Amino acid sequence: MVKNSLSNQDISEIENITGYVFKNKNLIERAFTHSSAVNGVNDYERLEFLGDSVLQLAVTDFLLNNYKKLDEGQLTRGRAKIVSKEPTCKIFENLDLARYVIASSSFSNDEGREGISDKMKSDILEALIGAIYRDGGMKAAFQFIIDKFSDIIDNVMKGNLIDSKSELYEYCAKAKLDIKFKTQSNGSANNPRFSCISFVDGKEISVGNGKSKRAAEQDSAKKALELLKKNYDKR
């Protein structure tokens, strides 16, 4: 459920979550304001634009200082995974930030559903980074980013971050199999649930479930991969 403004308690909770106390509290509200609530004026998009660049720079700086044995190509690929939509969306969800989003009562996301899309989650997290940078400078923004992204950075650079959907696409391309997904919403605005069916060469092969479209697709792709590797690899 979206809000039409943030209370003092909301602002205090966000500061506790971020570990940063804002001098300009208005930046917090702006970072969580969707264009539907303000007709495109003072929404989060400009802060998101700034936060995206700050995130890229912070991760680049951290990787250069901590992974000195890796070449430029390895660092570039690692950074791309770290700052992509899936990890930023996951951090948004882990921090439980959806409860602070400000939008109009008629709000629906870019996929035509009530609720918050994965893209919007990623954008708001980047807007929050932009707000911290604007208020506290690079040091404060870097501290927030490294604190919240540390586990993801570690997993990515060790090669342990699993993107089952991408892996399934690669597997099917090599095996010359056609893969398609069909995702639908089964829950309500207050309790979103999604299911995803994976089709290989037109045949249903797996069904995944999750609290977001991304989670359902990843669950379905993971199950499809397990079945394909078990059956096709024996041929």
The set of catalytic residues is: 52, 126
Q: Give, for 55, the enclosing helix (H) or strand (E).
A: helix 45-66
For residue 184, the tally of other CB atoms under 10 A from its CB is 12
Token duo for residue 53: 């660049």
Of 115, 124, 98, whose CA–CA distance to 34 is shortest? 124
For residue 193, the tally of other CB atoms under 10 A from its CB is 15
For residue 235, the tally of other CB atoms under 10 A from its CB is 5
C-alpha–C-alpha distance, residues 34 and 12, integer Å: 20
Phi/psi for 208 (5° steps) reads -120, 155
